[in-house]
């Protein structure tokens, strides 16, 4: 059997189980139907199914379990968000790699995310608790500088990836955009991961990657027009988002976050489709920034 057939079978199995738990007999019938449609041998024995489950776990980090009713299901595990993103990535992977002649039908954003080539090395260092040396250049600096870091985690924000690490220079935990990293060297030296450090907890009340210790978490209430509000409901701004009011004219939400610059930038990006209702301090800051912007267009 070709590798193409194996991948088609993995995809068919995962798609079946994403819709709900299924017995071996139900999986077998599903694969038989797919086999007829795709004209590729897909039917398997129970022994082969177990081997496929192990391969799927190894290749895609998707864990398939069997319950006491002898039904197979995808185990979301402790981190539902990570599992959902894994399945999302799998959908993209399967579409791009197994479809033929699709280039005329796919149009990618011309803006290319930089720095993703460093992810494997950084993840290896994070897992092995290895110190890394990187060449990093801030946007406002002309030349990159050497940094010696203890890498803790990788974080995604607004379509960009960031390294969360302790800088050996001043011993502060900082964020480094992968698109500003030019070289990564994993050293043999090991470090001790700080007890109690939790990257999820650190950024729990942050909109993006700016974490000002001096800033307090506030209940931010935003009112969107009905059309834009639907987009916000479909793709929430923050994990704490709650719907306060919803009618034909407006959709009002609440998020519990620190009012940092990245939140302000997000609010401003929605133009006249959003209004800050509270807190008053954030409302005033947005108003002042809009006045400054208006000054640029007076002539």
> Residue 142: which CATH number?
2.30.30.520
Can you give the pLDDT at residue 112? 61
| 273 contacts: CB under 8 Å, gap ≥ 6 | 224, 225, 227, 228
Can you give the pLDDT at residue 129? 95
Do 48 and 128 reside in the same domain of the chain?
no
| 218 contacts: CB under 8 Å, gap ≥ 6 | 256, 257, 258, 259, 279, 282
Do 84 and 124 reside in the same domain of the chain?
no
The last residue of a domain, from among 98, 125, 142: 98
> 168: alpha, beta or left, given left = phi > 0 and alpha = psi -120 to 50?
alpha
Does 121 reside within a domain? yes
In this structure, what CATH number is given to the domain that contains residue 282?
3.30.70
Can you give the pLDDT at residue 96? 67
Compare 102 and 144 and report the one with higher pLDDT: 144
Tokens of 57: 């776990």
Report how far residue 266's alpha carbon sits from residue 159's, in angstroms, rounded to the nearest whole number.
13
DSSP H stretches of helix in 132-274 = 199-202, 226-234, 261-269
Report how far residue 164's alpha carbon sits from residue 25's, in angstroms, rounded to the nearest whole number.
46
Q: How many domains does the chain have?
A: 3
Report how far residue 84's alpha carbon sits from residue 90's, in angstroms, rounded to the nearest whole number.
10
- Cβ proximity of 190 and 231 under 8 Å: no
254 forms bridges with which residues in the sheet? 221, 242
Residues 200-222, mean pLDDT to the nearest whole number: 87
- What does the pLDDT look like over 151-205, one tens digit per residue? 999 998 887 899 999 999 999 999 999 989 989 999 999 999 999 888 888 888 9
Do 124 and 166 reside in the same domain of the chain?
yes
Does 211 reside within a domain? no
Can you give the pLDDT at residue 65? 92
- Cβ proximity of 89 and 156 under 8 Å: no
Does 45 reside within a domain? yes
Is the pLDDT assigned to residue 117 strictly greater than 90? no
Whole-number Cα distances in Å, 286 to 10, 28, 208, 209, 263: 50, 58, 18, 20, 11
Q: How many CB atoms lie within 10 A of CB 228?
A: 16
Residues 124-150, mean pLDDT to the nearest whole number: 90
175 forms bridges with which residues in the sheet? 164
Measuring CA to CA, which residue among 27, 36, 112 is closest to residue 66? 27
Compare 119 and 82 and report the one with higher pLDDT: 119
CA of residue 33 relative to chain centroid, distance: 34
The three-state secondary structure class of 187 is: strand
In this structure, what CATH number is given to the domain that contains residue 13?
1.10.10.10
Compare 102 and 6 and report the one with higher pLDDT: 6
- What does the pLDDT look like over 9-22, one tens digit per residue? 888 888 888 888 99
Do 161 and 226 reside in the same domain of the chain?
no
Range of the domain at 16: 3-98
Can you give the pLDDT at residue 226? 94
Percent of the residues in the chain that have a pLDDT greater than 90, as a whole number: 51
Where does the pLDDT of residue 60 fall: very low under 50, low under 70, confident under 90, or very high at 90 and above? confident
Whole-number Cα distances in Å, 192 to 123, 128, 132, 252: 16, 10, 13, 45
Report how far residue 151's alpha carbon sits from residue 161's, in angstroms, rounded to the nearest whole number.
14
Do 25 and 90 reside in the same domain of the chain?
yes
Report how far residue 71's alpha carbon sits from residue 132's, in angstroms, rounded to the nearest whole number.
45
The mean pLDDT of the chain is: 87
- What does the pLDDT look like over 72-113, one tens digit per residue? 998 876 556 666 676 677 677 666 665 666 667 777 766 666
**Lowest-pLDDT range of 121-130, 136-145, 196-205, 239-248:** 136-145
Do 227 and 149 reside in the same domain of the chain?
no
DSSP H stretches of helix in the chain = 3-18, 24-38, 46-60, 80-98, 119-128, 199-202, 226-234, 261-269, 280-295
Whole-number Cα distances in Å, 240 to 206, 216, 218: 10, 15, 11
């Amino acid at each position: 059997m070709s590798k193409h057939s194996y991948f088609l079978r993995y995809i068919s199995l995962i798609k079946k189980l994403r819709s709900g738990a299924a017995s071996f007999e139900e999986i077998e019938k599903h694969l038989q139907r797919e086999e007829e449609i795709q004209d590729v041998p897909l039917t398997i024995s129970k022994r082969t199914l177990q081997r496929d489950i192990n391969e799927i776990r190894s290749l895609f980090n998707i864990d398939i379990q069997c319950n006491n009713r002898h039904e197979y299901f995808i185990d979301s595990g402790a981190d539902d968000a990570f599992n959902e993103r894994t399945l999302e990535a799998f959908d993209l992977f399967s579409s791009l790699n197994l479809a033929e002649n699709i280039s005329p039908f796919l149009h990618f954003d011309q803006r290319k995310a930089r720095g993703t080539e460093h992810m494997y090395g950084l993840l290896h260092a994070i897992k092995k608790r290895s110190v890394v040396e990187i060449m990093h250049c801030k946007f406002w600096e002309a030349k990159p500088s050497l940094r010696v870091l203890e890498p803790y985690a990788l974080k995604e924000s607004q379509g960009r990836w960031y390294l969360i690490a302790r800088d050996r220079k001043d011993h502060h935990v900082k964020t480094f955009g992968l698109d500003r990293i030019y070289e990564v060297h994993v050293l043999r030296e090991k470090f001790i991961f700080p007890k109690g450090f939790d990257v999820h907890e650190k950024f729990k009340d942050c909109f993006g990657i700016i974490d000002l210790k001096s800033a307090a978490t506030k209940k931010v209430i935003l009112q969107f027009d009905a059309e834009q509000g639907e987009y916000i409901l479909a793709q929430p701004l923050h994990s704490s988002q709650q719907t306060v009011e919803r009618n034909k004219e407006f959709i009002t939400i609440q998020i519990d976050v620190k009012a940092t610059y990245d939140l302000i930038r997000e609010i401003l990006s929605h133009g006249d489709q959003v209004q800050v209702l509270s807190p008053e301090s954030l409302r005033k800051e947005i108003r002042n920034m809009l006045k400054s912007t208006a000054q640029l267009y007076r002539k």
